[in-house]
Structure formats: C-alpha cells, structure tokens
Structure 1
Amino acid sequence: MKKIYLLLLTLCFSLQANDLDGKKVFETYCWGCHHQTAVAFGPPFTEIANKRTKEEIQAYIIEPKAMYKAFGYKRTVMTKLKLNDKEINAISDYILSYKGK
C-alpha cells in the first residue's frame, strides 16, 4: 500500500512543471525547524537527503503523522504543512540538492 501511495505521488509530481524556487519555499515553511547543513530542531537537509528518496520526503511532508513509524521514528513533532503540489515538489528537490554534501 505504501509503495502504491508513493508511486502515485511520484507520478502526480512528475506531471507538473516545477517553476517554484525550493529555497524560497524552505525559507517560508521549513527554516524555523530545519537548516541546510546544521542540526536545528529537526534534522538538517544533508541528513534527510542522504537517507530518503524524493517520494519518501514528499510523503513525510504531506502526512508526517502517518509516516513517522515507517521511517523508524518513535514520534514526530513536524506539523502538517498546507503546501500545494508545486511547493512540495520544489522543497523536495531543494532538500535533495544537499545529497552528498
């Protein structure tokens, strides 16, 4: 079921053009708890990018309370953000730009 959900998310996001700047989405919604390379309240993007696929990142953004156990977390404090598909795609691409850094 999880794989089908992630596959549908991937298909949905890949069909849409991404004309948003992921850094701006990050600064608007994520910066209070996450930083690019340093630990803040939440894990840094470098850590997330090296552990997760784009689909996993998007699924967690969309439904953190439904996904935290699947990721092996004991709890989640991440709030459910009201982002549209383009914003979710932009921020997930921005997070993945830190892979390997």
Structure 2
Amino acid sequence: MKIHLLLILTLSSLLFSEDLDGKKVFETYCWGCHHQTAVAFGPPFNEIANKRSFEEIQAYIIDPKAMYKAFGYKRTAMTEFKLSDDERKAIANYILTYKGK
C-alpha cells in the first residue's frame, strides 16, 4: 500500500509540475539591473553567456559576493536572491540562449 501511495504521489508531482519560463523569472528578479543585450547596471546577458558556464551562472546567483571576488571584479556584488533550484536553472538556461548574440 505504501509503495502504491508513493508511486501515485511521485507521478502526480511529475504531471502537475511545470517548467519555469526563464524569461518570466528574469523579468521578476533580474530586469532592474540586467537587460538581454544592452548594458544596464549589470552586464547584458549576451556578455554573461559568452563568458560563463551554466554552473558559473548558477553559482553567481547563489553567492554573488564570493563569485565576484573569484572572478576578479572590483565593484560591489549583485543583490543576493533566495531562488529555488528550478528558478536558478531557468535563469541560467535563459541567459545561455544569448550566447553568440
């Protein structure tokens, strides 16, 4: 019985989970400082996408203060957001769509 219940819960979570739209997450958290292809307070996504990996982008979102020091930047770090793993992945994937643009 427990196995059936676990199986039902797992399948229902898969059916009702939706992929996050990276653009919507970006517009919620990042738009104030970043633009897709123009310089704002922070660098544009096309610049980030051409310099950073998926993992580096997520690491920067998780701990911007540590990462800006690791990357050798001189100015203050971006705002630290408490995003879910899915939100970070959605933003990183969205940023990487600008690679080569």
TM class by smaller structure: 0.7 to 0.9
Alignment of 1:67-82 (within 5 A): 67-82=67-82
Any stretches of 5+ residues in structure 2 without a counterpart?
1-16
Q: CA RMSD of the aligned region, Å?
A: 1.4
Which segments of 5 or more consecutive residues in structure 1 lack a partner in the other structure?
A: 1-16
Q: Aligned partner of 1:37: which letter?
A: T
Structure 1 residue 40 and structure 2 residue 75: aligned? no
Count of aligned pairs between the two proteins: 85
- The superposition leaves residues 35-76 of structure 1 with CA deviations (integer Å, 9 ceiling, x where unpaired) of 000001100000000000010000000000111111120132
Specify the structure having the higher radius of gyration (Cα).
2
Q: What percentage of residue pairs aligned between the two structures are identical?
A: 81
- The structure showing larger relative contact order (alpha-carbon pairs under 8 Å, at least 6 residues apart) is 1
SS for the counterpart of 1:47 is helix
Runs of 4+ in 1 over 6 A off after TM superposition: none
**TM-superposed deviation, 1:18:** 7.3
Query: Which structure has greater helix proportion?
Result: 2
* Structure-1-length-normalised TM-score: 0.80
